Chain A
Amino acid sequence: MQLTARHREYWAKNLRVTGILIALWFFVTFVLVFFARSLTFSFFGWPFSFWVAAQGALLVYIGIIWFYSHYMNNLDKEYGVAEGEAS
């Protein structure tokens, strides 16, 4: 299997988007939670840190996965590595 420059570019872009999204994941999960005791201002009635762990982070996670799927499925087409329609 011979990889072309375009294949390598595709993989580099994949690694980049993966890296950015995982950094976002890390920030929401570990950084925000680490400072939970200081982030207790009221957020629509909830203490902010409680809301983040109960709902906010989940919304970000869904966003991350949805964005990745959308981005990569387009990238596949752009770089000609997409699959055809299933039979």
Chain B
Amino acid sequence: MSVFGGVGQTQSEFKKGLNKIFLWYGGGFLFFVIVLGILEQMGLPKNWIGYAFLAATVLLYGGIGVMSRTNDAAEYYVAGRRVPAMYNGMATSSDWMSAASFIGMAGTLYLTGYGGLAFILGWTGGYCLVALFLAPYLRKFGQFTIPDFLGARYGGNMARLIGVFAAILVSFVYVVAQIFGVGLITARLTGLSFDVGVYVGLAGILVCSFLGGMRAVTWTQVAQYLILIVAYMIPVVWLSIKHTNNPVPQISYGYLLQKVTAKEELLLKDPKELEVRGIFKARSDAAVEKLKDVPASMAADRAAAVKRLDDLKAANGPAPEIKAAETAVAALPKDEAAARAAYTTARTSNAARAAPPLRHAEPFPGRDKAAQDISRKNFLALVFCLMVGTAALPHILMRFYTVPSVREARQSVAWSLFFISLLYFTAPALAVLVKFDIYTLLVGTPIDQLPGWIARWNVVDPSLMAVADINRDGILQLAEIRLGGDIIVLATPEIGGLPFVISGLVAAGGLAAALSTADGLLLTIANALSHDVYYKVIDPNASTARRVMISKSLLVVVALAAAYVASLRMADILFLVSAAFSFAAAAFFPALVLGIFWKRANKWGASLGMVLGLGVTFYYMATTHPWMYGLFHGQALTPEVLKANTWWDIAPISAGIFGVPLGFAVIIIVSLLTKAPDQEVQDLVEHVRYPSFDGRIPSGSAAN
């Protein structure tokens, strides 16, 4: 197909063609949204709008896949190396911005205030490392995958296979989180069940990457970027006009932040708020008491529940109350372990809700100096892991193989960060806008006059939004609201009072964010297996067609496996994604950077450095993260064990802070102890350091 790069076209003709296509596409999409908006006013039911968005976007991505189908290796693996810098920037940013960025981040900022800015800093600052240390050199090297570079630079299959293992581990963890997000959004958008949602989304990913590989994924990602950025902006701009009369939320929210800060001080001292928090504190204390003697507490609980049921029955109480009492009896924990778990949950969740609201703009909150220092240390550690991880994610680095030259690779990083920042500038503004809305408009309303969106979300998913009149005074206190972070983005259109078509658009944007990232990740995994394991190690004589065919089959297998794991609904999205960053940081960053900047780094150093860096990161997570600990030790992580396992108070999310320096140290020490790499490798290092020796663009694939 000529639209996405045919034979004999010059680069500037190609660019002009692309501009035209995406202009038409943008116009078409706008038209589609407006038509749906008009239909909604005429009475089109909501779930039809949801279906229309789901069908239109999935068909669109599939259509791009069909139009750019290919069996050519260079086209399939690196989109023919002709993606212009700006378009690669757009593709990289939607490859980059996942469900966690789109849905999770504003929520995290809402819940943690300044603490959440670690994600903003980490996920943008990492691009400085990509630009300065990796992108131009990897483009000059110009093969197909990241393990390719490790294989060539550290001579032989050992480093390559460790790289393959790490790439698959990182990408698989990350893709599971994306598919989980796809299921969540599809369920929300259309009312289909979570599991059906997962497989519908998967179909969209597969048609696209299966037929056209990197070429299809690139152009789909550009299309997805346009959808997701528009979807993110519209409700925020609307909310900003509503609260500040200024259509640029990024400029206007400083003023709102002052108002929120003033309100926080009032809420911290408000007697009604203190009363509600006191009730939670009492509940948590009661759970602590029960934990002291679990069997006795179980018996007491049972006796109390049964007595209440009997009393109600004896007094001929109202049917719903009897029903509730029966449910309460049935829900009593069956054995001691279940009871212990239930009391522990009650202890921690009530203690969390008894805590005063944090001050949004206060950096590193803490009770005393020591707690503040720990908070600061963890903030900086998290920023470090996210940054280094960004610069080491194979599916991002791979994108810089697709531009035509080193020059464009450098420009492309700048474009990437520019496009990413459009969303990242907005997320903190969105968090403050919603906080302002909730703190000043919602808190203090009578419980029976709450806006409709609260009740709707309460029904959809109580873990996202739950409101209960804890102190029974008929007025909503802040402490009576329980919010899940993900609701912030998803409910913004409703909070702002926008029509449902905008909610549909936001969900479609979230879907685009999750699908685009999943596309890139699946391709990374399939390519690592087909190119690095099958072609480079098992059968170096395999024909191009066979390699592409194997990659395509693997894509389907990996996608199904990821969908299966996602349907188990294990840990929360943000932890899975952050874990992937620490793994990538520890496994790849030291080996890649030293490979380019230090000729003396050799095979043994790099291999050992990668294994030990990854190993220590994994070990730290497995001993300190509740879910990972449970997975590997078969029992719950108690606060005492956690304290004993924690090193320098660092949270498990930042485990890479140990892995990265260890990786660097091991590579340097082991390389110096073993013999220097041979001349061929040293020449390769020189080769990647200079864009060109003779004024031509080396084609990269010719080195094959």
Q: Which residues of A contact B (CB under 8 A)?
A: 1, 3, 7, 10-11, 14, 18, 21-22, 25, 29-30, 33-34, 36-37, 40, 44-47, 49-51, 53-55, 57-58, 61-62, 64-66, 68-69, 72-73, 76, 80-87
Chain B residues closer than 8 Å to A54, beta-carbon distance: 117, 120, 425, 428
Which residues does B use to contact A, with CB under 8 Å? 10-11, 82, 114, 117-118, 120-121, 124-125, 127-128, 131-133, 136, 250, 254-255, 257-258, 361, 363-364, 372, 376, 379-380, 383-384, 387, 404-407, 410-411, 413-414, 417-418, 421, 424-425, 428, 683, 686-687, 689-693, 695-697
Contact residues in A for B695 (Cβ distance below 8 Å)? 80, 82-84
Quick check: B131 and A68 within 8 Å, CB to CB? yes
B132 near A22 with CB under 8 A, answer yes
The residues of B that contact A22 with a CB separation of less than 8 Å are 128, 132
Asked if residues A81 and B363 are in contact (CB atoms below 8 Å), the reply is no
Instruction: Verify A58–B425 contact, CB threshold 8 A.
Output: yes
A68 and B407 within 8 A (CB): no
Known A-B contacts A65-B417, A72-B410; the reply to A57 vs B364 at CB < 8 A is no
Whether the Cβ atoms of B424 and A58 lie closer than 8 Å is yes
With A3-B686, A11-B689, A50-B363 already in contact, the answer to whether A61 and B379 are too (CB < 8 A) is no
- Return chain A residues, CB-CB under 8 Å to B361: 40, 46-47, 50
Contact B414 A46, beta carbon cutoff 8 Å: no
Contact of A73 among B128, B132, B387, B407 (CB under 8 A): B407
* Residues in B neighbouring A62, C-beta threshold 8 A: 414, 417-418, 421
Distance in Å: Cβ of B414 to nearest Cβ of chain A: 5
Q: Which residue of B132, B257, B405, B413 has the most chain A CB atoms within 10 A of its CB atom?
A: B132
A37 pairs with B254, CB closer than 8 A: no
- In the bound assembly, the distance between CA atoms of A46 and B686 in angstroms comes to 47
Check B125–A86 contact: CB distance below 8 A: no
- Tell me what chain B mostly uses at the interface: helix, strand, loop, or mixed: helix
**What is the distance, in angstroms, from B387's C-beta to the closest C-beta of chain A?**
7
Chain B residues within an 8 Å CB radius of A51:
254
Chain B hits for A29, CB < 8 A: 121, 125, 383, 387
Contact B421 A58 (CB under 8 A): yes
| Chain B residues within 8 Å of A44, by CB | 254
Contacts of B697 in A (CB 8 A): 83-84, 86
Further 18 A-B residue pairs, CB within 8 A, beyond A65-B131, A86-B82: A14-B689, A18-B132, A29-B125, A29-B383, A29-B387, A30-B384, A40-B363, A45-B254, A45-B258, A62-B417, A64-B128, A68-B131, A68-B410, A82-B407, A83-B405, A83-B691, A84-B696, A87-B10
Distance in Å from the Cβ of B83 to the closest Cβ of chain A? Answer: 11
- Identify A57's interface contact among B124, B380, B384, B693, CB under 8 A: B124
Chain B residues with CB under 8 A of A58: 120, 124, 417, 421, 424-425
CB-CB < 8 A to B428: which residues of A? 54-55
Residue numbers in A under 8 Å from B421 (CB-CB): 58, 62
- Return A40 CB to nearest CB of chain B, in Å: 8
A40 to B359, CA, bound (A): 13
Residue of A nearest to B699 (CB): A87
Residues of B within 8 A of A34 (CB): 376, 380
Give B416 Cβ to nearest chain A Cβ, in Å: 9
CA distance A72 to B691 in the complex (A): 10
* 11 sample A-B contacts, Cβ–Cβ < 8 Å, listed by A number: A25-B125, A29-B125, A37-B364, A50-B361, A55-B250, A57-B121, A61-B125, A65-B131, A76-B407, A83-B407, A83-B697
Closest residue of chain A to B9 (Cβ to Cβ) is A87
Q: Which residues of B contact A18 (CB under 8 A)?
A: 132-133
Verify A61–B417 contact, CB threshold 8 A.
yes
Task: Report Cα–Cα, A73/B131, bound state, in Å.
Answer: 13
Residues of A within 8 A of B364 (CB): 36-37
Question: Are A81's CB and B136's CB within 8 A?
Answer: no
Question: How distant is the Cα of A66 from the Cα of B131 in the complex, in angstroms?
Answer: 9
Q: How far is the CA of A29 from the CA of B387 in the complex (A)?
A: 10
Q: CB-nearest residue of chain B relative to A17?
A: B132
Alpha-carbon gap, A76 to B695, bound state (A): 10
Q: Residues of A contacting B683 with CB < 8 Å?
A: 1
Residue from B405, B411, B413, B689 within 8 A of A86 (CB atoms): B405
Q: Which residue of A lies closest to B679 (CB)?
A: A1
Give chain A nearest CB distance to B402 CB in angstroms. Answer: 13
Enumerate chain B residues within 8 angstroms of A37, measured Cβ to Cβ.
363-364, 372, 376
Residues on the B chain within 8 Å of A3, using CB: 686
A10: chain B residues within 8 A (beta carbon): 690
Residue of chain B at shortest CB distance from A77: B407
In whole Å, how far is B22's beta carbon from the nearest beta carbon of chain A? 20
Shortest distance between the CB of B26 and any CB in chain A (Å): 24
| Distance between B153 CB and nearest chain A CB, rounded to angstroms | 16
Given known contacts A34-B376, A64-B128, A65-B131, is B411 in contact with A76 (CB within 8 Å)?
Answer: no
| In-complex Cβ contact of A66 among B255, B372, B414, B425 (8 A) | B414
Contact: B414 with A82, CB < 8 Å?
A: no
Contact check, B117 vs A83: say whether CB atoms are below 8 A apart: no
Q: A55-B425, A58-B425, A81-B693 are in contact. Are A33 and B410 (CB under 8 A)?
A: no
Q: Do B405 and A21 have beta carbons less than 8 Å apart?
A: no
Distance (whole angstroms) from the CB of A51 to the closest CB of chain B: 7
Q: Across the interface, which residues of A come within 8 angstroms of B692, CB to CB? A: 76, 81-84
For B372, give the chain A residue with the smallest CB separation: A37
Residues of A with C-beta under 8 A to B411: 69, 73
Q: Is the CB of B376 within 8 A of A65?
A: no
What is the distance, in angstroms, from A86's C-beta to the closest C-beta of chain B? Answer: 4
Given A21-B132, A37-B363, the answer on whether A50 and B407 have CB atoms closer than 8 Å is no
Query: In the assembled complex, how far is the CB of residue A1 from the closest CB belonging to chain B, in whole angstroms?
Result: 5
Chain A's nearest CB lies how many Å from the CB of B17?
Answer: 15
In this complex, what residue of B is CB-closest to A18? B132
